[in-house]
Amino acid sequence: MDLLDTLTAKGLRRETPTREEALAVLATTDDELLDVVAAAGRVRRQWFGRRVKLNYLVNLKSGLCPEDCNYCSQRLGSKAEILKYTWLKPEQAAEAAAAGLAGGAKRVCLVASGRGPTDRDIDRVADTIAAIKDANEAVEVCACLGLLSDNQAERLKAAGADAYNHNLNTSEATYGDITTTHTYADRVDTVTKAHGAGLSACSGLIAGMGESDADLVDVVFALREIGSDSVPVNFLIPFEGTPLAKEWNLTPQRCLRILAMVRFVCPDVEVRIAGGREVHLRSMQPLGLHIANSIFLGDYLTSEGQAGQTDLDMIADAGFEVEGAGEPTLPRHRSEAGLGGGCGTGGGGCGDAEAETGAHACGTGGCGPCGGHTPEATDTHENDELRSDLVRVRRRGAGTELAPNA
């Protein structure tokens, strides 16, 4: 296919595709799907080999967020029956992080719900980073705390944070359709602050909220433009008790096309399959590894993922290997150019981790377009019915007495 040959060649040369080419990827048919995966896989292997980076989430503070992001189980007015608790103590967070590191994760993502951190919150997170790095000096730490005020990114960097996650989530044009308590510009400002402070900038998107193909392409091009070192791709988990509970717009095939489009637009950047992997890719998760080079291990913020050992088995069975703690994530040309944001190993950032929990997996709960937008590609499959049985609320790990899943 001329399109895929062109996109592969551009990806191998780190050239940006046109918007028309990116849109064309999303419009490919199921008959062409394996060709799309194979083409994106060539680009992935060029820059990341067969390595898979494992990231582990620790939810420092869950629920009761004042932001009104419609997709988020922690949002203002959410009726989702998730865990709710205030700040974990540093030693509690370090204990939770240790489980992920023992399972093979090289990065710990510290997430807290809320609009943004106070200066006291920054002190708390600094103490938590110290506790985690005292036990494992080589671990990478990504913070995800919401909208940052002046000098807070610098304080996190000084405390030992390697990266900061704050997702754009959707196109600027449709941002206001879901969130009214902050703006797209607010989110761009926080990513800019983090990158400017020398933190690896991690920013991604949420798919499956009824957005158009043009919205998806717009946000991915915006992520490239702001210099995101890591692009987590979240697939909406429609939590009961949230406004988007009935938005089941994704199929495994569409998820793979979205991942491929992201890879072609961001060929040498860490692409992470984040929240919704198990819910929407399901048995086709291994194919996603041929496109993305990073996943979360075990559970997410307010939902449960598949067993950590199952993740490891999937990686091995698909012919990939877990990225080691001493291996750089990003290609040398990005690390040497300073695009790793000062991260010790040049790794990418954290991920929103779940389009479902939002407000703080991604910072302040960014947004995506709402159901009023009809996807341009007609991914109509008989299995698009509501599959709420696949959404499992997290009842173990941080904030509970049960052992974490890693």
Which CATH number characterizes residue 10's domain? Answer: 3.20.20.70
Q: What is the model's pLDDT at position 207?
A: 96
* pLDDT tens-digit readout, 150-205: 999 999 999 999 999 999 999 999 999 878 898 999 999 999 999 999 999 999 99
Q: What is the model's pLDDT at position 404?
A: 79
CA angle 249, 254, 260 (to 5 degrees): 140
Residue 405 lies in a domain: no
Q: What is the model's pLDDT at position 352?
A: 39
Question: Which has the closest alpha carbon to 305: 103, 7, 3?
Answer: 103
Q: Are 84 and 62 in contact (CB under 8 A)?
A: yes
Q: What is the model's pLDDT at position 295?
A: 98
Burial class (CB in 10 A: 0-12, 13-18, 19+), 231: buried
* Active site positions, annotated: 65, 69, 72, 109, 142, 202, 272
* Average pLDDT along the chain: 86
* pLDDT tens-digit readout, 324-342: 988 999 999 987 665 443 3
Strand-pairing partners, residue 59, are 111
Query: For residue 76, what pLDDT band results from cuts at 50, 70 and 90?
Result: low
Residue 401 lies in a domain: no
Q: What value does the CA radius of gyration of the chain take, rounded to a whole number of Å?
A: 19
Query: By three-state DSSP, how is residue 217 classified?
Result: helix
Residue 100 lies in a domain: yes
Residue 289 identity (one-letter amino acid): L
User: How many angstroms separate the CA atoms of 33 and 25, rounded?
Assistant: 10
Q: What is the model's pLDDT at position 48?
A: 98
What is the widest separation between alpha-carbon atoms in the chain? 56
CA angle 101, 104, 109 (to 5 degrees): 50
Phi first, then psi, for residue 121 (nearest 5°) are: -65, -40
User: How many angstroms separate the CA atoms of 231 and 163, rounded?
Assistant: 12
Domain of 236 in residue numbering reads as 2-390
At residue 46, does pLDDT exceed 80?
Answer: yes
Residue 347 lies in a domain: yes
More reliable by pLDDT, 381 or 59: 59
Residue 164 lies in a domain: yes
Question: Would you give the end-to-end CA distance of the chain in angstroms?
Answer: 41
Structurally, the chain folds into a number of domains equal to: 1
At residue 41, does pLDDT exceed 70?
Answer: yes
At residue 389, does pLDDT exceed 50?
Answer: yes
At residue 369, does pLDDT exceed 60?
Answer: no
At residue 388, does pLDDT exceed 90?
Answer: no
Query: By three-state DSSP, how is residue 214 classified?
Result: helix
Strand-pairing partners, residue 163, are 142, 200
Contact partners, residue 13, CB within 8 Å, separation at least 6: none
At residue 139, does pLDDT exceed 50?
Answer: yes
Section 121-134 average pLDDT: 97
Residue 406 lies in a domain: no
Residue 89 lies in a domain: yes
Residue 358 lies in a domain: yes
Per-residue tokens: 23: 């849109």
More reliable by pLDDT, 115 or 128: 128
User: How many angstroms separate the CA atoms of 21 and 306, rounded?
Assistant: 34
Query: For residue 84, what pLDDT band results from cuts at 50, 70 and 90?
Result: confident
Phi first, then psi, for residue 8 (nearest 5°) are: -65, -45
Distance of CA 71 to the CA centre of its chain: 15
